[in-house]
Chains A and B, each alone.
Chain A
Amino acid sequence: MTVASPNDFQDSLQPQGWLRYFSFSLDHKVIGIQYLVTGFLFYFIGGALAGVIRAELASPISDFVSRETYNEVLTLHGTVMIFLWIVPVVNGGFGNYLIPFYVGARDMAFPRLNAVAFWMIPPAGILLIGSYFITGAAQSGWTAYPPLSLTTPALGQVVWIVSVLLLGGSSIFGGINFIATVLKLRRPGLKLMQLPMYCWAMLGTSILVVLSTPVLAGTLLLLSFDIVAHTGFFNPALGGNVVVYQHLFWFYSHPAVYIMVLPAFGLVSEILPIHSRKPLFGYTTMVYSILAIVVLGLVVWAHHMFTSGTPPWMRLFFTIATSFIAVPTGIKFFNWLATLWGGKLALNSAMLFSCAFIVNFVFGGITGVALAQVPFDIHVHDTYFVVGHFHYIVYGGTVFVIFASIYHWYPKFTGRMLNEDLGRLHFLLTFVGFNLCFAPQHWLGLNGMPRRVAEYDPSFTTLNQISSVGALLMAISSLPFLYNVLVSAFKGQVAGDNPWNALTPEWLTSSPPPVENWIGAAPLVEHPYGYGVDEDALSVEAATGRDLWSGTGRR
């Protein structure tokens, strides 16, 4: 069997130096960086769209953009942020860069498929953004519920479908690749239960991707038939059923939340032990809780449809199933808290963003359990309460982890450190701006502001303006970040191979790593979290809370 390797091309066709980032490179590290940089470009586009939304909502009347444009903007904002920013970055970006290191491989299982998966993203993104300027973008929200998606301008909606299909295809290719890499490309001698936690997170995520994304693809194909060929799958005027679309859509789009969040759980599980100088607490339960989230995540989709005319038994089942996702998720959070407890915490940007992730996600998780309760949801469904909730999950959760990960792995990517002062400034602005922006939205939703509106009751003006100020702070916060990332690549302090003194395999090579990851054989890392001292000086059983409190037994 011949395995494609970056070396096949190295001397002849593949460009070297910075040009390789614009090439059809097969090197997983190059592809990882390609995902990351592309993702960040779309993040800033999506952020600008969010800025338009918050500018419109600074006043209670529709005055900033036209109503049609507003709906285009909110549709693009949702689609860009989910399909072009979070999913590609936490899966494709960090996954491609880290997973081969973690399993001790020289590349992904299918390097060409990997490159194809990445190169599907730029055309899809350009198509989506370009549709706004050329044909007019879709106006039916990222959910594209029919019959609205059948009655809004057809061309924009079809372009949206093509773009999402491309991105879904890219995601499926990536998922297959990750499953194959984690299961089949492990270095000899490396057991599954010795893998760093991010491998487990990506394995679980990829299972969700492979199981659920094809359902979305099929659904959107049927929707495009309804639009283009006037079939009646979802068109009630032709005997179709609009609620069926919602079931099919959420069968993908609820697991999509875990596709966005599970990799973040994995990344944070890598960051916390290193900067706490302690082993990851409860490795085995962390693994099983990921698998439990994967299984439960597939059977909770109808909680998005409690007001859609679902039968009562279904509402009850999905309430209970959804509530129980809190249990494995809670286990992970308690394990992270226990990882922090008694450690030597470095209060650097990576750690601050990770801890803020815990705080934000717990808040979003609590509102999530509340939303899972049918009677609660019936009041706040489709309101700003839900907007607040899911931004706490995807921004306060995943995006904070993305930033933590950038601060953590930037030395590996570039060989240079990011500036810590700018990093802390970035953290402070992001954390304050984020909470200012999204916390008031919970109250707005409870008191009568529906989501996706360009105009609202004037009594909500003040809180909406506070929210818009928060959004402005978040926009400003990206300036120190951008400056830091761009300037540090050339002028940052030289990092050395392992600035964090870490044990996971990606740090056991040079920074940045060579083409096939290691000179010589890949190291066998049996204890990726083997930090800590005095194991025998103070055993777990003998330690009391007071020992930890007073610090006896520690050097």
Chain B
Amino acid sequence: MPIPSSLVTLLVGMALVLSGLWVGYNVDLLPLDASANAPVYDSLFRVLFSIGTILFLGIVGLVVFSLVRFRRRPGDQTDGLAIEGNLLLEIVWTAIPAIVVLFVGIYSYDIYERMGGMSSLNDHSAMHRMPPMETMEASVSTAGPGVDPTAAPALKAPRVWGGIGTGADETNVLPVEVTAMQFAFIFHYPEGDITSGELHVPNGRPVELRMKANDVIHAFWVPQFRLKQDVIPGQPTVLTFTPTKAGSYPIICAELCGPYHGGMRSTVVVHEPEAYDAWLLKNSPVTATVASAPGTPTA
């Protein structure tokens, strides 16, 4: 007695969903997660990976099955069934992707909010904290045609576009000024007046990068933090993150910036807080007493 096709379909569907979930949660394609929003990102990745696997396996399975099952036998010159359409089926496969896409969209919006992406919408803290040095060029870039650029700075704070993660806990934020140029990142610490070619940050403390570019567009990317923000000439940008694992991770320029683009790399060193304080003390160019006072408010 043949197995009813509805049962076969059900079993195949269940196997498909289970294998998709298994792949999504067991195949690890991502690098180490070393910032507070990396695990959040990874949970989104797992959901997308599972849904994608289910869809991909299902469709590839159907194609392969059709190619084998419905292949034209030698000598068979007849046509297939003259099925021109089926309204119910069309509704089903319009509705299901629409629901999946809506779910994915809402879920990723939720993820985005948890990563702090939406907070910069009304976040003026980043603007207040921007040092006045960018005021001039920022206002020029955002004043737009018709507005007298010289009048703008007096009226409003320069518009700062934040990357993900802006608006973190404000009292404890470590500000770092980032200048991107062909072909290097320069990090300047207002606390302690240190200038460095590597980014040194303490573990567990929010870091706010205030970024500007001197020449062309660059992008600041740390794969282990799952963060990227373009560094745009004429328009300061902000990126906030909280490292969670001590170690050294690559900083990569991700926007084509010239011949040595591939070599425009640096390192972010996440220290334990004590080690970071020691680093700060050691590298401060002025006398240690002056530098350490603002440099260690959190210790």
Which A positions have Cβ atoms within 8 angstroms of B?
A: 62, 66-68, 70-71, 139-141, 145, 147-148, 151-152, 236-237, 239-243, 276-285, 307-313, 315-316, 319-320, 323-324, 326-327, 330-331, 333-335, 337-338, 340-347, 355, 358-359, 362-363, 366-367, 369-370, 373-376, 378-379, 381-383, 442-443, 446-448, 450-457, 529-535, 538, 540, 543-546, 548-550, 553-555
Q: Which residues of A contact B111 (CB under 8 A)?
A: 373, 375
Known: A243-B232, A279-B84. Contact between A531 and B79, CB under 8 A? yes
B117 touches A533 (CB 8 A): no
Q: A277-B78, A376-B48 are in contact. Are A71 and B256 (CB under 8 A)?
A: yes
- Say whether A448 contacts B250, CB under 8 Å: yes
Report whether A375 and B41 are in contact in the complex, using a CB–CB cutoff of 8 Å. yes
Q: Are A340 and B63 in contact (CB under 8 A)?
A: yes
| Inter-subunit contact A68/B259 (CB<8 Å) | yes
* Contact A546 B232, beta carbon cutoff 8 Å: no
Q: Mark B176-214, 1 if CB is under 8 A from A, else 0.
A: 000000000000000000000000000000000000000
Output the least CB separation between A336 and chain B (Å).
9
Q: Please choose the segment from B65-73, B279-287, B288-296 that sits at the chain A interface, where 4 or more of its residues have CB less than 8 A away.
A: B65-73
- A343 contacts B70, C-beta separation under 8 Å: yes
In the assembled complex, B268 has its CB within 8 A of some CB on chain A:
no
CB distance from B59 to the nearest CB of A (A): 5
Establish whether residues B112 and A347, one from each chain, have CB atoms under 8 Å apart when the complex forms: no
Chain A neighbourhood of B94, CB < 8 A: 285, 327, 330-331
- Of all chain B residues, the one with the shortest Cβ separation from A333 is B59
Q: Which residues of A contact B30 (CB under 8 A)?
A: 446-447
Contacts of A141 in B (CB 8 A): 256
Query: By the criterion CB–CB under 8 Å, are B105 and A382 in contact?
Result: no
Tell whether, in the assembled complex, residue A538 and residue B81 are in contact, meaning their CB atoms are under 8 Å apart: yes
Chain B, range 43-97, C-beta contacts under 8 Å to A: 44-45, 48, 51-52, 55-56, 59-60, 62-63, 66-67, 70-72, 76, 78-86, 89-90, 93-94, 97
Partner of A378, one of B6, B51, B137, B228: B228
Task: Give B contacts to A, CB under 8 Å.
Answer: 2, 4-6, 9, 29-31, 40-41, 44-45, 48, 51-52, 55-56, 59-60, 62-63, 66-67, 70-72, 76, 78-86, 89-90, 93-94, 97-98, 101-102, 104-105, 108-109, 111-112, 115, 117-118, 120-121, 137, 140-142, 149, 161-164, 215-217, 219, 221, 223, 226-230, 232-235, 237, 250, 252-263
Please tell me if the beta carbons of B63 and A543 are within 8 angstroms of each other in the complex: no
Q: Which 3 A-B pairs have the closest CB atoms?
A: A532-B82, A236-B234, A453-B262
Contacting pair B83 A543 (CB below 8 A): yes
- Other contacts beyond A282-B84, A358-B59, A540-B86: 14, CB < 8 A: A70-B259, A147-B216, A151-B216, A236-B137, A277-B80, A307-B163, A313-B121, A337-B66, A338-B83, A338-B89, A369-B104, A375-B44, A378-B163, A378-B229
Please report the number of residue pairs spanning A and B whose Cβ atoms sit closer than 8 angstroms.
326
Chain B residues within an 8 Å CB radius of A236: 137, 140-141, 232-235
Instruction: Kindly list chain A residues whose C-beta atoms are within 8 Å of the C-beta of B259.
Output: 66-68, 70-71, 139
Residue from A279, A366, A447, A545 within 8 A of B52 (CB atoms) = A366
- Interchain CA distance A403-B226 in the complex, whole Å: 38
**A139: chain B residues within 8 A (beta carbon):** 258-259
Which single member of A241, A279, A370 contacts B82 (CB below 8 Å)?
Answer: A279
Contact A331 to B235, CB < 8 A, known contacts A285-B85, A376-B108, A450-B252:
no
CB–CB A239/B117 < 8 A = no
A455 vs B264: C-alpha distance in the bound complex, in angstroms? Answer: 10
Cα–Cα distance between A343 and B226 once the two chains are bound (Å): 47
Candidates B60, B80, B115; contact of A532 at CB < 8 Å: B80
Assembly CA distance A340 to B142 (angstroms): 54
By a CB distance below 8 angstroms, the chain A residues around B70 are 276, 340-345
Known contacts A323-B104, A355-B67, A382 near B80 by CB under 8 Å: no
Q: Which residues of the partner chain B approach A375 to less than 8 Å between Cβ atoms? A: 40-41, 44, 108, 111-112, 115, 117, 164, 226
Q: Are B82 and A531 in contact (CB under 8 A)?
A: yes
B255: min CB distance to chain A, Å:
6
The docked-state distance in angstroms from the alpha carbon of A550 to that of B254 is 55
